Amino acid sequence: MPRPPRAGEAFGIYHALNRANLRATIFHKEGDYLAFEKILGEGLERYQIELLCYQLMPNHYHLVLRPLVSGELSRFMKWIGGTHTMRYHAHYHTQGLGHVYQQRFKSFPIQSDEHFLVACRYVERNALRAGLVTSAELWRWGSLWRWLQKPEPIPKLLSAWPIPRLPNWTQLVNEALSDAELEAVRRCAHRGQPYGDETWTESVARRMNLESTMRPRGRPRKSLPTRKPK
């Protein structure tokens, strides 16, 4: 099955993610997380893109990004993945022992309204949902913890959001998403489908040639021929 085209319009908002090959651990210790945050900082200096939200997990990561130039999302993500892979192999002496990541990154566009807030809640509560911490803001390797530090630690990674956080943002992140919200974000992440209201989603899918992400997966069921009565 052909892969859907990569979306990446200027000033759009995108959730990008990638997982380790065979879901193996790639962040083994504090230094690994710090090294990846350093790569993020270098990438943000090299490319015209803004990081709005992120979370690093032991075997994968989530980034919510806003490219300022069309095509910059793919260039940024390719550089991040390639640089991390090269430095990971050099540090752990694993060159030639297999891929670090299971495939190219996945991404999907997000509408800049309450859908953006839901997507950020999904990202920032990832460690809590996995049982790694008792409160989302305690996970050191994500944007919620970093946003709560004043001033933001070096390297500075976060850009202003397109819409303001709600006043009780930390509390909201600690509250579970509804089943419908969780299923919708996961479906969009898996398929590359735009995440927003119906009108926006259909418009974006047409404009970005993402209609294939909206169709049901699998072969259409064959209809049996009807028999004529004897």
> Minimum mean pLDDT among 100-104, 172-176, 180-184, 221-225: which range?
221-225
Residue 179 burial class via C-beta count within 10 angstroms: exposed 0-12, middle 13-18, buried 19 and up: exposed
* Structural domain contains residue 131: yes
State how far the Cα of 160 lies from the Cα of 51, in Å rounded to an integer: 9
| β-strands 60-67, 13-19 pairing | antiparallel
Tens digits of per-residue pLDDT, 131-184? 999 999 999 999 999 999 999 999 999 999 999 999 999 999 999 999 999 999
* Other residues' Cβ atoms within 10 Å of the Cβ of residue 46: 13
Share of the chain above pLDDT 70, in %: 90
The domain that holds 185 is classified in CATH as 3.30.70.1290
pTM of the model: 0.90
* Structural domain contains residue 229: no
* Structural domain contains residue 222: no
Tens digits of per-residue pLDDT, 23-55? 899 999 999 999 999 999 999 999 999 999 999
Residue 159 corresponds to which amino acid? S
Band the pLDDT of 224: cuts 50, 70, 90.
low
Band the pLDDT of 111: cuts 50, 70, 90.
very high
Band the pLDDT of 212: cuts 50, 70, 90.
confident
* Structural domain contains residue 6: no
* Structural domain contains residue 87: yes
- 227, pLDDT greater than 90: no
Q: Containing domain of residue 194, as a range? A: 13-212
103 or 79, which is more confident?
79
For Cα atoms 138, 144, 146, give the angle at the middle one, nearest 5 degrees.
90
* Structural domain contains residue 3: no
Classify residue 116 as left (phi > 0), alpha (psi -120 to 50) or beta: alpha
Peptide bond into 216 cis (omega under 30): no
Share of the chain above pLDDT 90, in %: 81
Residue pair 224/18 in contact (Cβ under 8 Å)? The answer is: no
* pLDDT value at residue 1: 43
* Structural domain contains residue 1: no
Q: How many domains does the chain have?
A: 1
Residue 167 corresponds to which amino acid? P
Query: Order of strands, edge to edge, in the sheet holding 13-19?
Result: 49-57, 60-67, 13-19, 106-110
* Structural domain contains residue 144: yes
Residue 16 burial class via C-beta count within 10 angstroms: exposed 0-12, middle 13-18, buried 19 and up: buried
In sequence order, which residues have a C-beta less than 8 Å from that of residue 77 and are 6 or more positions away? 16, 18, 105, 107
